[in-house]
Amino acid sequence: MDSIIYLTGRFHPLIVHLPVALLPLAGIFWALSKYNKFKSLEATVTPLLVVGSLAALGSMLSGFALASGGNYDEALLNKHRGLGIVSTVIGLVSLFLQVRASNPKILWALFAMLVVAVSLTGHWGGMLTHGESWFAMEPPPKNSDVLEKLKVISIDSSSNAQLYSDLVAPLLDAKCVNCHNAQKQKGELRLDNPENILKGGKHGLLVDVSKPEKSELLLRIQKSIEEKGHMPPRQEGQLENLEVELLKWWITAGAPFDKSVAQVPPPALLTKLWQAKPVEGLNDWLPTKSIDIAKQSVIDSLEKYGFKITSVGQSSNYLSITTAGERAIANRGWAQLSKLSAYVVELDASYVSLTDDALKAVAALTQLRRLKLNNTNLNDEGVKTLSSLSELRSLHVTGTKLTSASQSILTELKNLKELFVFGTGLTNTSLTLANVKVNTGNYDLPKLPTDTMVYKVK
Amino acid sequence: MTDKFKKLQSITRRHFLFESVTGLGALAAANLLGSCSTPSPAAQAFASNPMKPRAPHFPGKAKSVIYLHMAGAPSQLELFDYKPELAKLHNQKCPQSFLEGKQFAFIRGVPKMLGPQATFKQRGQSGAWISDYLPHLSSVADELSFLKAVNTDQFNHAPAQLFMHTGTPRLGRPSIGSWVTYGLGTENQNLPGFVVLTSGGKTPDAGKSVWGSGFLPSVYQGVQCRSEGDPILFLSDPEGVSRELKHETISAINTINQETFKDFNDPETLTRIHQYELAYRMQISVPEVMNINTEPQAIHELYGTKPGKTSFANNCLLARKLVEQGVRFVQLFDWGWDSHGTDVDNAVNIGLRNKCREIDRPISALILDLKQRGLLDQTLIVWGGEFGRTPMQENRDDAEMPFLGRDHHADAFTMFMAGGGITPGITWGETDEIGYAPVQGKTSVHDVQATILNQLGMNHEQLTYQFQGRPFRLTDVSGNVISVIAS
């Protein structure tokens, strides 16, 4: 019997669409039919009321079944249920009176009340399902917002940031509270305030103070995404690695609500992870200004000369060009390259024999962030033309004939962050450029006795 | 009889069957031909060159991948996962709790515990644990990031290798390299986009399917190159055929192929056209790039190459040269890591040391060589096996083994990544005191695959291919990018 009630309840969100659509529609068509232009709509009102009211009865039944399963905010549920019953009654009365062709004034009043009642019932029903924040003015915070907060609140051992209210609570708000709040309690669990977190839910307590690592919350967020019971559910936004560790830190400390970071120092793993420096790359140096897409005809004609042109990403109109596989590009091709000077942020012309025209063309690419001219015939003279590339962050000139004479030119590249000079004459001098990581290469691995030791049975 | 009856009588069973068949055939044809509508400009561009370089979903840091797969499953307990508690339990009977409900490949009955056979130290600034089996790798420890709680659900080689490389333990799906070239094409149009190099004496257990293209057009399958003799078989011109004659022949064949493609729209025809043209270009480009003899002596010493023979060191040097020339995905397989202890060659304290010596210098050299050429930040290096090895001493059929060895262990093993924009110096994931189960930072095979795609600028959920009525992807239906190392 229980399962029949449960199954009936499951149909409530389905059936409810009928009265929500048909009953107000009956009212609207009835009102319209009072004008000569829409007189023909009069015939539709009774059928609409019949189907709508029957469906409303079905919604009521399934609604009772669904409500019996619990999990909904009592106050809101009572409002919804009460007005739902009222809507059904008004619908039936309207039907009765409409069929009896009663006084239009009464019917006007009834239909108006019907539209209002059904709309309000539906609105409350939506809130029961999706939470009060459904029509929020702002979208919920994205992952990066929460993690950025974590990084900004200085995680040093003397920090006064509150572990729960400054770090854990915003994370729960962003990723968990949508389904575990006052209006919606999946698994009979609320995560929106300390009291309710400690209460736990259908599957017991969230935090096990005697064995914190075995706490239900931790077990669920550490399961693989395909395992049963994994939280957050697969179709929702997932927790980042660091967010999992943050919750672990807090729970292992006994889920304190009133301690600061200084009083509950983070585990070594978290400190290490926070200190880790990500590698910088082209996607960190891209221009912030957006730009309209380059002309396809220009790209097509350049590709005929041997340039391979792609955008840096489908979401961006900035371009990355490589000459991979080519050993020479016609001067006319180089000349045309300037047409894309506003777009090209990366150029790899390694192994190509560069003419003066080629270098002039490269120097005209003012938006270049990364330039690779490895193993080309670039020399000290040629580098002079490149000094105009003010936005350059990364320059690769390995295997070229550059000497220390180029050093002064390279200092003119104000935004340069990394320089690769392996196999050039620049490795002989002690090349120092302020704020630039210079890689001279020539790495060596020492000869070890184990390099030649073959292990056999003793 | 009336005319109506006569007419009905003249319609025999034969007519009925014939009309049904034509009718059903028409239905089928409509379905098939439905896909033969005029291709969109994007599809046409794709059709003319399926390997053309394409933009990733979002700007990523890596342009190429070098995947180093140690076929047989290297023992993480002798290389990276330091377990002093396990040393204390050496030679003791394995507690029942670790055996209950578990399926082992070869262990039967109650095995003994096997302590780590290597000495471990923390290396570099990052403090990564690396054993003395890999001294050179220890010197580049700060470039690496370790995943120590990778887990899989396959405990035999072939299905596990398929799972690692195609996202499912069963045959028929494309490998990572195929997905990557399908999504991004390749930069150098004179070389294959996906190259495979093997060493160690045998092909991995899963066979060529681990670099196969599955249901993707076969233009995306891995091209196996040999590091000894002719890099690609049957590439050079036969006697009496000049290169010009070859070119004319291929052009003529492809003109006919183009017509065939217009008629039938079969992607395999495109593959054929593309491969003929690529083979022609490869006649010049491949011998050039695959010739390691032109490299300076210093480089040979760095890698420890063995010119003229097949070796992992040669393959690492080749991988660098291929990536330098704009190849998108280079897959290296080294066979011989299955340290069961049945033989001296697969004893964890003897044979495994020799295997480590074979890879230690080359991998470290590869990282350093890519770094000095400015390629490391844009080349993602992935190292790992298909599963791990047990903390228990293997006892095949409940008998004592001639040598020390470990059985297959799917629950937790170690992989590492370097370059390609991965945040270096991180160790993510931890196993319990004896290295048996993951306790923190559990990572699935699909997570690793999602991360590889992420570094290349691709969203693993968006890189799909329509097949058998639904979209397929490398990571099947799961996988999360490992955000703590990805960027």
Contact at CB, B59 and A308, closer than 8 angstroms: no
Residues 6 or more apart whose CB falls under 8 angstroms from that of B474 comprise B166, B167, B174, B176, B179, B449, B453, B460, B463
pLDDT at A59: 95
Ramachandran angles phi, psi of B267, nearest 5°: -60, -25
C-alpha angle with apex B367: B361 to B370, nearest 5 degrees? 130
ipTM (interface predicted TM): 0.86
Question: What distance in Å separates residue A193's CA from the closest CA in chain B?
Answer: 27
Q: Kindly report the pTM of this predicted structure.
A: 0.82
Compute the nearest-CA separation of A134 from chain B (Å): 27
Suggest the residue from A147, A148, A224 to mutate for an interface test with chain B (most B CBs closer than 10 A): A224
To test the contact with chain B by mutation, choose from A314, A343, A418, A419 the residue with the greatest count of B C-beta atoms within 10 A, namely: A314
CA A54 to chain B, closest CA, distance in angstroms equals: 39
**Size of the A and B interface in Cβ pairs below 8 Å:** 158
Q: Which two tokens stand for residue A425?
A: 């004459």
Tell me, what's the pLDDT at A143?
Answer: 53
Burial of A187 (0-12, 13-18, 19+ CB in 10 A): middle
Distance from the B241 Cα atom to the nearest Cα atom in chain A, whole angstroms: 25
Distance CA A170, CA A147 (A): 10
Cα dihedral B99, B104, B106, B107 in deg (nearest 10): -10
Do B61 and A457 lie within an 8 Å CB cutoff? no
Mean pLDDT across A417-437: 84
B378 CB neighbours in chain A (<8 A) are: 281
Nearest to A118 by CA among A15, A24, A213, A251: A24
pLDDT of residue A392: 96
Question: Which range (A156-165, B60-69, B185-194) has the least confidence?
Answer: A156-165
Chain A touched by B61 (CB under 8 Å) = yes
Q: Which of residues B32 and A230 earns the better pLDDT score?
A: A230
Confidence label for A191 from pLDDT (cuts 50, 70 and 90): confident
Output the pLDDT for position B409.
Answer: 95
Token representation of residue A404: 């220390």
**Least Cα separation, residue A374 to chain B (angstroms):** 8
User: What was the pLDDT predicted at A430?
Assistant: 67
Mean pLDDT of chain A: 88
Q: Nearest 5°: phi and psi at A421?
A: -125, 20
Residues of B in contact with A308 (CB under 8 A): 52-53, 187, 189
**pLDDT for the residue B23:** 77
Which DSSP letter does residue B75 get? Answer: -
Highest mean predicted confidence (pLDDT) among A196-210, A372-386, B257-271: A372-386
Selection from B465, B430, B282, B235 nearest residue A244 by Cα: B430
Determine, for residues A242 and B483 on separate chains, whether the beta-carbon distance falls below 8 Å.
yes
B 442-481 near A (Cβ less than 8 A): 442, 444, 457, 477-480
**A-chain residues near B344 (CB < 8 A):** 456-457
The answer for B 62-101 residues in CB contact with A (under 8 A) is: none
At B59 the pLDDT is: 96
The 10 Å CB-count burial string (b at 16+, else e) for A322-339 is bbbbbeebeeebbebbbb
Contact between B486 and B458 (Cβ < 8 Å): no
Element (H, E) at A322: strand A319-322
Separation in Å, CA A47 to CA A53, A103, B389: 10, 19, 72
pLDDT exceeds 70 at position A150:
no
CA pseudo-torsion sign B144, B139, B330, B310: negative
- Helix (H, G, I), strand (E, B), or coil: what is residue B304? coil
pLDDT of B30 > 70? The answer is no
Neighbour tally for B224: CB within 10 Å? 18
Residue B184, classed as helix, strand or coil, is helix
Judge whether B305 and B292 are in contact, CB under 8 Å: yes
B117 touches chain A (CB under 8 A): no
Residue A364 has what DSSP assignment?
T
Q: Cβ A450–B444 below 8 Å, yes or no?
A: no
pLDDT of B481 above 90: yes
Q: Note which residues in 41-60 of chain B have CB less than 8 A from chain A.
A: 52-60
| Measured CA angle at A103 (ends A101, A107), to 5 deg | 85
Task: For residue A278, give the chain B residue with the closest CA.
Answer: B423
Q: Is the pLDDT of residue A153 over 60?
A: no
What angle, 0 to 180 degrees and rounded to 10, lies between the N-to-C axes of helices A74-99 and A17-33?
A: 40
Q: Which residues on chain B are in Cβ contact (under 8 Å) with A241?
A: 428, 441, 482-484
Kindly report, residue by residue over B385-414, the tens digit of the pLDDT. 999 999 999 888 878 888 999 999 999 999
Q: With cut-offs at 50, 70 and 90, classify the pLDDT of residue A259.
A: confident
User: Do A150 and A163 meet the contact criterion of CB atoms below 8 Å apart?
Assistant: no
Task: Find out whether A286 and A370 touch, Cβ atoms under 8 Å.
Answer: no
Whole-angstrom CA distances from A426 to A379, A412, A432, B256 are 11, 16, 10, 54
Cβ of A441 within 8 Å of Cβ of B372? The answer is yes
Contact B378 A281 (CB under 8 A): yes
Going from the C-alpha of B20 to that of each of B7, B16, B24, B33, B69, the distances in angstroms are 19, 6, 6, 19, 54
A448–B136: do the CB atoms touch at under 8 Å?
yes
Highest mean pLDDT out of A271-275, B139-143, B284-288 = B139-143
Chain centroid to CA B264: how far? 32
> Which residues of chain A have a CB within 8 Å of the CB of B64?
none
Instruction: Say if the Cβ atoms of B302 and A240 lie within 8 Å.
Output: no
Q: Is A362 left (phi over 0), alpha (psi -120 to 50) or beta?
A: alpha
List helix spans (H) across B265-309. Answer: 267-290, 297-303
pLDDT level of residue A146 (50, 70, 90 thresholds): low
Candidate from B54, B188, B484 with C-beta closest to A325: B188
- Contact call for A313 and B54, based on CB within 8 A: no
What SS3 state is found at B22? helix
The CA-atom distances, in angstroms, between A58 and each of A19, A242, B274 are 9, 48, 63
**Inter-chain touch A226–B477, beta carbons under 8 Å:** yes
Q: Is A176 helix (H, G, I), strand (E, B) or coil?
A: coil
How far is residue A126 CA from its own chain's centroid? 25
| Residue with token string 């020539």 | A442
Residues 6+ apart with CB under 8 A from B267: B50, B217, B219
Per residue in B406-446, pLDDT (tens digit) is 999 999 999 999 999 999 999 999 999 999 999 899 999 99
Instruction: Give the residue from chain A lying closest to B133, CA to CA.
Output: A450
B residues 161-190 near A, CB within 8 Å? 187-190
Contacts of B191 in chain A (CB under 8 A): 325
CA distance B420 to B455: 7
Cβ contact B80:B394 at 8 Å:
no
Instruction: Determine how many CB atoms are found less than 10 A away from the CB of residue B291.
Output: 13
At residue B36, does pLDDT exceed 60? no
Which of B59, B442, B477 is the closest to A222 by Cβ?
B442
**pLDDT digit string, tens, across residues A37-70:** 988 998 999 999 999 999 999 999 999 999 987 7
Alpha carbon B382 to its chain centroid, in Å, reads 10
Could you give the C-alpha distances from A235 to A225, A226, A231, A238, A393, in angstroms and in order? 10, 11, 10, 8, 39
- pLDDT of A299 > 90? The answer is yes
C-alpha span between B467 and B458 (Å, rounded): 20
Task: Say how many residues make up chain A.
Answer: 458
Residue B13 banded pLDDT, cuts 50, 70, 90: confident
Q: Per-residue pLDDT for A142 more than 80? A: no
Share of chain A above pLDDT 90, in %: 53
Taking only residues 215 to 234 of chain B, the set having a beta carbon closer than 8 angstroms to any beta carbon of chain A reads none
Give the residue-averaged pLDDT of A342-356. Answer: 95
Residues within 8 A of A (CB atoms), B 190-209 only: 190-191
Q: Which of residues 287-306 of B touch A (CB under 8 A)?
A: 302, 304
CB contact under 8 A, B444 and A224: yes
What is the rounded CA–CA span in Å between residue A188 and residue A208? 18
pLDDT band at residue A442 under the 50/70/90 scheme: very high
CA distances from A138 to A130, A148, A204, B202 (A): 16, 18, 34, 59
Alpha-carbon distances, residue B126 vs A1, B143, B294 (angstroms): 62, 9, 36
Does the distance separating the beta carbons of B424 and A279 come in below 8 Å?
Answer: yes
Contact A443 B487 (CB under 8 A): no
Q: What is the pLDDT of residue A215?
A: 87
Q: What would the mean pLDDT of B244-266 be, rounded to a whole number? A: 90
H helices present in B59-209, as ranges:
76-79, 84-88, 135-139, 157-166, 176-184
pLDDT at B125 over 60: yes
pLDDT band at A154 (very low <50, low <70, confident <90, very high): very low
Q: Which residues pair with A447 in a beta bridge?
A: none
| Nearest residue in A to B54, CA atom | A310
Q: How far is B45 from chain A (nearest CA, A)?
A: 11
**A456 interaction partners in chain B (CB closer than 8 Å):** 344, 350
Determine whether the interchain pair A283/B60 forms a contact, defined as Cβ–Cβ distance below 8 Å: yes
Residue A159 neighbours by CB distance under 10 Å: 17
Question: Which tens digits make up the pLDDT trace of B344-378?
Answer: 999 999 999 999 999 999 999 999 999 999 999 99
Helix (H, G, I), strand (E, B) or coil at A159: coil
Distance from the Cα of B442 to chain A's closest Cα (Å) equals 7
A143-152 vs A241-252: helix axis angle to the nearest 10?
60
With an 8 Å Cβ cutoff, is B364 touching chain A?
yes
Q: Mapping DSSP to helix (H, G, I), strand (E, B) and coil, where does residue B2 land? A: coil
Nearest CB to A324 within list B325, B350, B444: B325
Give A455's contacts (C-beta < 8 A, 6+ positions apart).
Answer: B349, B350, B351, B353, B354
Distance, in Å, from the CA atom of A35 to the CA atom of B292, rounded to the nearest integer, reads 90
Is 80 exceeded by the pLDDT of residue A183? no
Residues from chain B contacting residue A424 (CB–CB below 8 Å): none
% of chain B at pLDDT higher than 90: 68
